[in-house]
Structure 1
């Protein structure tokens, strides 16, 4: 056990998850690569949990942070803040929400917590619809709407949560149906549920479930849900903490795969927008955002240094068409991994879109999750210089592949080759 690991265990909580039997200290990074304390280089296919979205040590972002730090780092939201206004203007326009207002937080958890406050206040209801297998954060309220027991340590909650079918396409009671039949069954289940309860405040849903193992419904499910919700005045909150900013390749936001009825009422975001800086936030139309009847502030949300990073990162992302790169390189990577999976009975499914790819592992010949093999693949990949994530609602048996969106074709092939060897060595 390293000295740093021993010190970690002595002062930090036991429930603070660490990857690997011998936990890794990352000391620096560049582009799509990071280095550990021993000087070993790794291709990063997880980006600090989808947070280093553009690249490690991106010069445009580090320059913006350095220059802003030389002027002023922080003043709180009690004062006018030019970088915060400028980033809010750009996000409001990109959101697709008419007459949008933006509130900045420091994390996705806090963003979802704020969205829940807005929705329950606006609708005067503490009932929330959430998806099975979902994850929305680690605060008291967001744990209370998380549909993944591995990340929900208490059933106590200030909210009454009702869980809906549909977030996982290939498991559950509707898995054998066609896409159209699947959507129809999920909508019928939602309508039946709503017939038995007082009208909830909102449905919160990740367009692609992140911690749940990069699972998703057929395109159009949330549009079909939205028709039902709008008839009853129920809001739709799209949790774009992991799917936003072009990661899926085909769309800038995950909700756009379900866009028949227009944008959500509320969008939450975080992670990639700051490329490692602590930025989260909420976008909502003005009548919802302004419904609170008391004062509020955010001491660290929207601070000048994080807003400078967000502006530089968003500019780089758009000017270099990283959404298009995610579509092109991610499409090649998915096909490469599916070709490998076809030869391995322990790989149940390769799914996802863009550079948000899940590889679900099972015990060969069964549908039983295999978290032990998933952990072994993570270790084997690390030994060869590749960092992956894991997740899933069935005992974390899905590998999560989510590199920075600037990934090159050569790097995608390098990572796929390492992952193939790791999978074969553990089957």
Structure 2
């Protein structure tokens, strides 16, 4: 049956719509931190539908909220008052840390970033954007135009002029050998030099931890130092929290807070985990930025009642059960366990991350050369052992991505680490 579905998939869907594994699997249902495929095999899920199943599969509180809302009304558009949308916007505005915040809901992180770019360019009356090397911000025309990862940017055409800034990948590039303080200073000087050769940009958009880029990150404080330079010139800072938000990094509720000594970003985008699988994205911005558009706009499906009900229930569960704290505690144990294993596997260049957002970079032993075939082999071996993980990275997708639901418990972390250990050792 799976082969039949695969053939049908290939007959009607684009060739560039990637599938994991040599024998792609069909996931039929899930519960907690586990999913099952069409053959009845159970897997520990350490990727959560690309960091989207944030709390747990089939979380009763969320499924109940969705079912009850579906029994009342599913959708009405933003042309009518919408109580669940207002309630979720109120909570997110308060949690964002952005003063006098306004919230606009979309259906995806791509659309959220697209909206943030619209706001920034309209507010600043500039179509120049600063973005980070190795970055990813979505699949819309404007988003791929600012993506700093060539593997995810299929066209050089763009409505925006994009200038790429150094600093998002701590252990590669010309400043990798420097101390953290010297690294930040060098990146700031690079930014200043870049700004001296261009007209005033609208904004810098940056992921606090680069998701598709392989869970890479700069030293804490880099974006705070960047913001000092940007603020002097009136340039906005957009924090792309599509993958880092809601406590996933453990130490902070938002990724930008690791760089927050100069206050919150001007604009913040979010998506993925807040809906726990329902399609929610959004933008938070100061009111004068959000309200700068001088033409009409709506969102047909952004903020629809059923997704807002899911988001409210999911956010409530996350906060009441301190899943940020759980990500810090369990994620810390998982990272240390994986680093101990990696020290004995020459193909592992680095285990990095924080909380339950962990990257394992695979290279050819003794070199910095990417080894995507070996990374794929580890992913296959993990699946054979009953564990699902992701891939990414700016160097030919040679990084493994580990991002379980935030309710992961210690026993499940140990189980997943043991499977990963066997998978990694199988490539020696």
Q: CA-to-partner distance for each residue in 1:258-305, whole Å, 9 max, x for gaps?
A: 001000000000000000000000000000000000000000000000
Q: Indicate yes or no: 2:340 matched with 1:339.
A: yes
* Corresponding residue of 1:418: 419
Q: Indicate yes or no: 2:46 matched with 1:22.
A: no
* Corresponding residue of 1:148: 149
Q: Secondary structure at the match of 2:237?
A: strand
* Corresponding residue of 1:53: 54
Q: Deviation at 1:59?
A: 0.0
Q: Indicate yes or no: 2:152 matched with 1:171.
A: no
Q: Secondary structure at the match of 2:18?
A: coil
TM-score by length of 2: 0.99
Counterpart CA distance in 1 for 2:23 and 2:93 is 43
Q: CA-to-partner distance for each residue in 1:111-159, whole Å, 9 max, x for gaps?
A: 0000000000000000000000000000000000000000000000000
Q: CA-to-partner distance for each residue in 1:59-91, whole Å, 9 max, x for gaps?
A: 000000000000000000000000000000000
TM-score by length of 1: 1.00
Q: CA-to-partner distance for each residue in 1:171-227, whole Å, 9 max, x for gaps?
A: 001000000000000000000000010000000000000000000000000000000
* Corresponding residue of 1:389: 390
Counterpart CA distance in 2 for 1:373 and 1:200 is 40
Q: Deviation at 1:25?
A: 0.3
Q: Indicate yes or no: 2:356 matched with 1:355.
A: yes
Counterpart CA distance in 1 for 2:376 and 2:151 is 15
Q: What does 1:176-187 correspond to in 2, within 5 Å? A: 176-187=177-188
Counterpart CA distance in 1 for 2:25 and 2:174 is 40
Q: Secondary structure at the match of 1:359?
A: strand
Q: Which blocks of at least 5 consecutive residues in structure 2 are unaligned?
A: none
Counterpart CA distance in 2 for 1:379 and 1:353 is 24
Counterpart CA distance in 2 for 1:403 and 1:92 is 26
Counterpart CA distance in 1 for 2:54 and 2:374 is 28
Counterpart CA distance in 1 for 2:426 and 2:259 is 39
* Corresponding residue of 2:10: 9
Matched length: 427
Q: Indicate yes or no: 2:244 matched with 1:238.
A: no
Counterpart CA distance in 2 for 1:348 and 1:21 is 25
* Corresponding residue of 2:202: 201
Q: Any runs of at least 4 consecutive aligned residues in structure 1 with deviations exceeding 6 A, and if so which?
A: none
Q: Deviation at 1:395?
A: 0.4
* Corresponding residue of 1:224: 225
Counterpart CA distance in 2 for 1:373 and 1:321 is 37
Q: Deviation at 1:365?
A: 1.1
Q: Secondary structure at the match of 2:367?
A: coil
Which moves more between the two structures, 228-237 or 358-367?
358-367
Q: Deviation at 1:359?
A: 0.3
* Corresponding residue of 1:96: 97
Counterpart CA distance in 1 for 2:262 and 2:198 is 24
* Corresponding residue of 1:254: 255
Q: Deviation at 1:426?
A: 1.6
Counterpart CA distance in 2 for 1:374 and 1:233 is 43
Counterpart CA distance in 2 for 1:5 and 1:381 is 21
Q: Deviation at 1:391?
A: 0.3
Q: Secondary structure at the match of 2:344?
A: coil
Q: CA-to-partner distance for each residue in 1:158-178, whole Å, 9 max, x for gaps?
A: 000000000000000100000
Q: Secondary structure at the match of 2:426?
A: helix
Counterpart CA distance in 2 for 1:114 and 1:191 is 27
Q: Secondary structure at the match of 1:218?
A: coil
Counterpart CA distance in 1 for 2:23 and 2:293 is 48
Q: Indicate yes or no: 2:399 matched with 1:398.
A: yes
Counterpart CA distance in 2 for 1:417 and 1:369 is 24
Q: What does 1:64-103 correspond to in 2, within 5 Å? A: 64-103=65-104
* Corresponding residue of 2:291: 290
Counterpart CA distance in 1 for 2:291 and 2:118 is 12
Counterpart CA distance in 1 for 2:298 and 2:18 is 31
Q: Which blocks of at least 5 consecutive residues in structure 1 are unaligned?
A: none
* Corresponding residue of 1:40: 41
Counterpart CA distance in 2 for 1:198 and 1:338 is 44
Counterpart CA distance in 2 for 1:364 and 1:132 is 25
Q: Secondary structure at the match of 2:282?
A: strand
Counterpart CA distance in 1 for 2:258 and 2:365 is 33
Counterpart CA distance in 1 for 2:377 and 2:251 is 32
Counterpart CA distance in 2 for 1:186 and 1:374 is 30
Counterpart CA distance in 2 for 1:149 and 1:196 is 24
Counterpart CA distance in 1 for 2:343 and 2:172 is 19
Counterpart CA distance in 1 for 2:276 and 2:360 is 25
